[in-house]
Chains A and B, each alone.
Chain A
């Protein structure tokens, strides 16, 4: 496998808007703000950013509008259709565009009024349209939302391995503890296993309300450039050791009709990302595992080989994924507690972790001073975090991975 790009590219800037449920602004205004903040973070001006990439589900504003708002004149841009697992894939595409000589520095953004306008959960504008094409085999039966689209996979997994709702609840508890130390998080309140179990059922047996992520209005941005260029910029570069996405499992959209239901795309992405990055599981200090629902986290931990198939319940209840544990997961609170961003916030969080400047409640966090007291309202910086891994989820059949190092 070609590995000559290992460490040759870096994340130089990150930015986000406020996470809210009612932004009162357009996706254009939010997109411009997230990119501007990432440019300011990196110390880049309008002439320096000559590439743009975005992803959307018909719910964003094209790059060609936002480039005006920022005074950019890209030599390269693409607006791609895509949801979860696009973040990592687009970082790879940005590297490819730069490697091909099409541009030097790429701003990747995602902008969505995911609560107040077009909701992933299927309500609002998306539910009002007529049904045609592949939805004809789903929506007449009441199968419309993301939690439902993936549910057959996890019910089957539960039947084979005996995972309980309580096991999944531990994931929510861990992420909520992390979010309580994140001023940006939408849901900062710590919850217990019992809180999750007592929240109303959405889809039995896979998801209570608190097993589901938070539909959010937000925009986010990461800026990719060469390692060489990143060294001259404002922030300590975070290097891309390897990126792989969007990888698939057999069957594509119809994966439940063919193939092992409990085995998700990470099974295929995993071996490639570790080889590309040249690291082993044991080298990873912090993970960002896409938590659209608690069960997507468990399925991906198994698929990527953090544990054997069927042992995900032990991995997520063992304390490994908690701050202070061996390999904390989604230290910002992730989609379950910080905000639903289609994967961007988990990459942004890992960049902050590797810089050592996580924006927690430590007084001098921006200067990299942390006390590593993970109690509520305290620190969420992982001590000496050197290497991170992101595992993006599109569907059970679609996934991406990214390994970064400081």
Chain B
């Protein structure tokens, strides 16, 4: 069992964890990976054991570019996690990765969750958080060897319209 500390929380990743262990091991090498179905070839954001689109339970880890678009977001103004209180307000983003946007149906996509941070891994300013903004992966290295994938604005122009809330 691997036990890590991240932002005041304990992460337990048992040796028999066939879903998430490889994800965090790859992150430790600064590679963002997802699972790829060995039968139909589709990628999935949730690294579960089976393919939601075909009967196959066979898969391989597949490295992806880490580039994508903010598909949805939430700004945490109030958090119940003590270690996060100094960070608030901070953004949690749902990122649609470039490799499989709009596939296999128009409503689907390869989406993963992370914080939107700046180049120093501090929370990105709220006014810069918008659906449609382009992002890229950045790794938050921890002293005990684990690394957590996060996202930052890539600086690329958005591919379509953007949307953000007004307060």
- Decide if A and B are genuine partners: yes
Interface residues of A (CB under 8 A from B): 121-123, 127, 130-134, 136-145, 148, 151-153, 155-156, 158-159, 200-206, 209, 250-251, 253-254, 256-261
What is the chain A residue whose CB lies nearest that of B24?
A: A136
Contacts of B89 in A (CB 8 A): 204
A257 touching B110 by the CB < 8 A rule?
yes
Tell me whether B31 is interfacial, beta carbon within 8 Å.
Answer: no
CB of B74 within 8 A of CB of A148, answer yes
Are B11 and A152 in contact, CB atoms less than 8 angstroms apart? Answer: no
Residues in chain A near residue B10, CB distance under 8 A? 130-131
Additional A-B contacts beyond A140-B148, A144-B79 (5; CB < 8 A): A133-B20, A136-B24, A200-B77, A205-B75, A258-B111
Among B17, B52, B110, B112, the one with the most A-chain Cβ atoms within 10 Å of its Cβ is B52
Measured CA separation A354–B75 after assembly (Å): 42
Contact A141 to B74, CB < 8 A, known contacts A130-B12, A131-B11:
no
Question: What 10 A-B pairs come out closest when comparing CB atoms?
Answer: A205-B165, A201-B77, A204-B75, A254-B46, A151-B74, A159-B163, A257-B45, A152-B72, A130-B10, A156-B72
Beta-carbon contact of B92 and A141 below 8 Å: yes
Q: Given A201-B77, A257-B111, are A156 and B19 neighbors across the interface (CB < 8 Å)?
A: no
Closest B residue to A142 by beta carbon equals: B84
User: Smallest CB-CB separation from A202: which chain B residue?
Assistant: B78
Given A141-B113, A141-B114, CB of A121 within 8 Å of CB of B80: yes
Please tell me if the beta carbons of B72 and A132 are within 8 angstroms of each other in the complex: no
Q: What's the nearest-Cβ distance from chain A to residue B166, in Å? A: 8
**What is the count of residue pairs linking A and B with beta-carbon distances less than 8 angstroms?**
136
Enumerate chain B interface residues (CB-CB to A < 8 A): 3, 6-7, 9-14, 17, 19-20, 24, 44-46, 48, 52, 71-81, 84, 87, 89-90, 92, 94, 107-115, 126, 131, 148, 163, 165, 167
Q: Are B13 and A136 in contact (CB under 8 A)?
A: yes
B20 touching A152 by the CB < 8 A rule? no
Contact of B107 among A130, A143, A260 (CB under 8 A): A260
Asked if A142 and B75 make an inter-chain contact with CB atoms under 8 angstroms apart, the answer reads no
- Tell me if B111 and A127 are in contact (CB < 8 A): no
Residues of chain A lying within 8 A (CB to CB) of residue B163 = 159
B112 touches A137 (CB 8 A): yes
Q: How far is the CA of A123 from the CA of B85 in the complex (A)?
A: 13
User: Which residues on B sit within 8 Å (CB–CB) of A144?
Assistant: 79-81
A155 and B131 contact, CB distance less than 8 A: yes
Contact of A254 among B17, B45, B74, B84 (CB under 8 A): B45
The docked-state distance in angstroms from the alpha carbon of A204 to that of B163 is 14
Partner of B9, one of A131, A158, A201, A258: A131
- Asked whether B108 lies within 8 Å of A142 as measured between CB atoms, the reply is no
Can you name 11 A-B residue pairings with CB atoms under 8 Å?
A: A139-B9, A140-B6, A142-B90, A143-B113, A144-B79, A153-B72, A204-B126, A204-B165, A205-B75, A206-B74, A259-B107
Q: Known: A257-B44, A260-B107. Contact between A155 and B72, CB under 8 A? A: yes
